[in-house]
C-alpha cells in the first residue's frame, strides 16, 4: 500500500459504503414519509400524526436551547427491549411516524430523567410548570435541577395574578410576592404537555399478550397511560 491515489480510492469506497447504508438508504426509505391513515385500531380515515399548535413549537425551541435531551429521551422501546411499556411510558413502541413534525428531532440518548415520549398523557400543564420551577414539588428527591430563570418573582400589586404558581408549603415565596411563569416557561410547558404518541399503527400494534407466556391480555400498565384508540383529541 504505497500508492497515495489508490489509498484515497480505497478510503472513498469504504466511506461510501457507510454513507450509502446509513444516510442514503434510510433517506430513500423514509425521506418522503407522509402522515398515515393506516391506523390499526380506531376510526378509519384518520390521519396520524397531527401538527402541534404554535406554542408547542416555541416550547420545543426552549427544550432544545436548554439541552433537555441531555437527560430525557423521547422514544419508547418495544416490549422485548426494556421495560418502557411496562413502566407506563407508552402503550406501544415509538415509530418513525411519531416524529414527522419535529424540528429538530430530539430523541435523546440518556435516561437521567424519565422518558418523555408520552409525558403529555401523564402530566397537565400546571404540574409541568410546578415541576419546572421546583421539581421537588412534584417528585420528592428529584435530582432534576430547578429552572427558576423561566419564572419571575414579583411583588403582588392589587389582585394576585391568575397565572401565579400555587406552590406547596416549603416552596412558597415570601409573603406579598408571587411566582409567575415567563413566556418561555409557558411555551415549554405547552410543548411538554403536547408530547404524546398514540394511534396504534400498522408497525406498532397494541400489545396482545403479556410477556412471560401467559395468555391473558395485557392490562393497561398504569391508569395514566390508558390506551387511547383515537389519535385525534
Partner 1 sequence: MSVTASPAQTAPRPSPQSVRTDIEVSCRLPLLGLFGSGVLWLLLGLLFALIATLKFHNPRFLSSEAYWTYGRMHAAHTTALLYGFGVQTALGVGLWLLCRLGRAPLAAPGVVLVGIALWNTAVTIGLIAILCGDSTGFESFEMPAYVSAMLFVSYLLIALCGVLTFHRRAEGNLYPSQWFVLGSFFWFPWIFSTTSMLLLCLPVRGVMQSSVAWWYAHNFSSIFLGFAGLASIFYFIPKLMNRPLHSYYLAAMAFWTLALFGSWGGIPGGAPLPSWIISLGVVGTVLTTVPLLAVAANLFHTVRHDLNALDNHLTLRFTYVALVFWLLAGVQQIVGVLPDVSALTDYTWFTVAHWELFHYGFFAFAMFGAIYYIVPRLLDWVNPPMWSPGLVKCHFWLTFVGILISYLALLVGGVGQGFLLANPKYSFAQVMMSTLMALRAGTPGDLFIIIGTIFFLLNFALLLLRWGFRYWVENSGGLRKERL
Helices then strands, counting H and E runs in the chain, come out as: 6, 2
Contact residues for 69 (Cβ-Cβ < 8 A; gap 6+) = 63, 106, 107, 108, 109
State which of positions 203-232 bind partner 1 (CB under 8 A): 221
Nearer to partner 1, 22 or 202 (CB): 22
* Site size with partner 1, rule: CB under 8 A: 77
Q: Per DSSP, what are the bridge partners of residue 179? A: 153
Residue choice 40, 46, 55, 87 for contact with partner 1 (CB under 8 A): 87
Nearer to partner 1, 37 or 103 (CB): 103
Length of the chain: 233
Residue choice 51, 54, 148, 206 for contact with partner 1 (CB under 8 A): 148
Smallest distance from the beta carbon of 115 to partner 1, in angstroms? 8
State which of positions 96-135 bind partner 1 (CB under 8 A): 96-100, 102-114, 135
Nearer to partner 1, 27 or 38 (CB): 27
Smallest distance from the beta carbon of 185 to partner 1, in angstroms? 12
| Rounded Cα gap, residues 161 and 138, in angstroms | 22
| Rounded Cα gap, residues 53 and 50, in angstroms | 9
Nearer to partner 1, 85 or 193 (CB): 85
Q: Is 229 helix (H, G, I), strand (E, B) or coil?
A: coil
Q: Does 66 bind partner 1 (CB under 8 A)?
A: yes
Residue choice 39, 48, 95, 199 for contact with partner 1 (CB under 8 A): 95
State which of positions 169-208 bind partner 1 (CB under 8 A): none
Smallest distance from the beta carbon of 231 to partner 1, in angstroms? 16
Q: Does 93 bind partner 1 (CB under 8 A)?
A: yes
Residue choice 125, 142, 161, 228 for contact with partner 1 (CB under 8 A): 142
Q: Which three cell numbers stand for residue 102?
A: 419535529
Q: Per DSSP, what are the bridge partners of residue 48? A: 36
Q: Which three cell numbers stand for residue 80?
A: 422485548
CB-CB contact of 104 with 77 (8 Å): no
Which stretches of the chain are DSSP H helices? 4-19, 25-30, 54-65, 119-122, 125-133, 183-194
State which of positions 4-43 bind partner 1 (CB under 8 A): 4, 7-8, 10-12, 14-15, 17-19, 21-23, 25-27, 29-33
Q: Does 143 bind partner 1 (CB under 8 A)?
A: yes
Q: CA triplet 141, 146, 148: central angle to 5 degrees?
A: 150
Amino acid at each position: 500500500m504505497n500508492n497515495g491515489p489508490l489509498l484515497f480510492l480505497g478510503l472513498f469506497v469504504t466511506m461510501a459504503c457507510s454513507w450509502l447504508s446509513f444516510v442514503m438508504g434510510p433517506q430513500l426509505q423514509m425521506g418522503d414519509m407522509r402522515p398515515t391513515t393506516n391506523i390499526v385500531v380506531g376510526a378509519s380515515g384518520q390521519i396520524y400524526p397531527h401538527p402541534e399548535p404554535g406554542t408547542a413549537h416555541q416550547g420545543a425551541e426552549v427544550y432544545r436551547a436548554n439541552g433537555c435531551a441531555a437527560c430525557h429521551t423521547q422514544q419508547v422501546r418495544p416490549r422485548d427491549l426494556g421495560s418502557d411499556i411496562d413502566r407506563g411510558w407508552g402503550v406501544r413502541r415509538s415509530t418513525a411516524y411519531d416524529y414527522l413534525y419535529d424540528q429538530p428531532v430530539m430523541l435523546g440518548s440518556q435516561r437521567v430523567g424519565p422518558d418523555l415520549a408520552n409525558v403529555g398523557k401523564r402530566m397537565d400543564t400546571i404540574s409541568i410548570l410546578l415541576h419546572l420551577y421546583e421539581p421537588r414539588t412534584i417528585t420528592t428527591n428529584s435530582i432534576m435541577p430547578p429552572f427558576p430563570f423561566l419564572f419571575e418573582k414579583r411583588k403582588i400589586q392589587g389582585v394576585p395574578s391568575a397565572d401565579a404558581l400555587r406552590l406547596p408549603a416549603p416552596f412558597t415565596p415570601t409573603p406579598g410576592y408571587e411566582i409567575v411563569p415567563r413566556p418561555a416557561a409557558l411555551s415549554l410547558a405547552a410543548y411538554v404537555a403536547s408530547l404524546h404518541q398514540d394511534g396504534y399503527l400498522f408497525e406498532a400494534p397494541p400489545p396482545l399478550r403479556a410477556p412471560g407466556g401467559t395468555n391473558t391480555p395485557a392490562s393497561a400498565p398504569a391508569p395514566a397511560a390508558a390506551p387511547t384508540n383515537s389519535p385525534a383529541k
